[in-house]
C-alpha cells in the first residue's frame, strides 16, 4: 500500500484503518451464515 502526506502518524494510522476495514469486510458473514466468496469474481 502506498500513502502520501507529511504526517507519518496519520499515514500509519490510515494504513491500519484501511487494513482493518478490509479484514472486517472479508470475514463478514452473509445472511445464510456463510462467509462470502470471491469465486468467479476475480
DSSP assignments along 29-41, one per residue: --TTSPPP--TTT
pLDDT score recorded for residue 35: 66
The helix or strand, by DSSP H or E, that contains position 15, with its residue range, turns out to be helix 8-27
Residue 36 pLDDT level (bands cut at 50, 70, 90): low
Task: Say if residues 23 and 31 touch (Cβ distance below 8 Å).
Answer: no
Provide the b/e sequence for 26-38 (b: ≥16 CB within 10 Å). eeeeeeeeeeeee
Predicted structure pTM score:
0.58
Mean pLDDT across 14-20? 92
pLDDT score recorded for residue 22: 86
| pLDDT > 70: percent of the chain | 71
Q: Where are the domains of the chain?
A: 1-42
Amino acid at each position: 500500500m502506498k500513502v502520501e502526506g507529511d504526517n507519518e502518524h496519520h499515514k500509519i494510522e490510515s494504513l491500519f484503518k484501511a487494513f482493518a476495514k478490509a479484514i472486517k469486510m472479508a470475514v463478514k458473514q452473509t445472511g445464510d451464515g456463510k462467509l462470502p466468496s470471491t469465486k468467479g469474481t476475480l
